[in-house]
Amino acid sequence: MDVKKPIANPLIVLREEFDDWAILFDPDTGNAFGLNPTGVFIWKLLDGRHNPDDIVNRLREEADNVPEDAGEHARRFIASLEQQGLVGYEIEQGPGAGTGVRG
């Protein structure tokens, strides 16, 4: 099974604050989103090389007392970023790609 590896929208600006919190700013929409330190950690791993399980494993390596349901929380967080247009996924280009008819 191929697991999707999310990629942060490269147009989104991450502004880190002094207290490890951050703001994501979408210049296209003018929307801003606050991130706690865990959200910042996850955002920095949205590089197309890590799936949600990889990200949670890295979080467990770096942080103490990570809850058992952290994987579900991470997946929901990534899904909410996707809904806001802040995260996407690379489309695999296989043989015959682009030859189909789009509806």
Cα–Cα distance for residue pair 18/50, rounded to 1 Å: 27
Q: Of 17-21, 38-42, 70-74, 98-102, which range is least confident? A: 98-102
**How would you class 43 by CB atoms within 10 Å of its CB: exposed for 0-12, middle for 13-18, buried for 19 or more?**
buried
Confidence (pLDDT) at 3: 72
Contacts of 75 by beta carbon, 8 Å cutoff, 6+ apart: 52
Q: Is the pLDDT of residue 94 over 80?
A: no
Contacts of 3 by beta carbon, 8 Å cutoff, 6+ apart: 51, 52, 53
Dump pLDDT digits (tens) for 40-68. 999 999 999 999 999 999 999 999 999 99
pTM over 0.95: no
Cα–Cα distance for residue pair 5/92, rounded to 1 Å: 11
Q: Where are the domains of the chain?
A: 6-87
Nearest alpha carbon to residue 26 among 90, 70, 87: 87
- Could you identify the residue written with the tokens 């949600």? 52
Kindly indicate whether the domain formed by 6-87 is annotated with CATH number 3.90.930.60.
yes
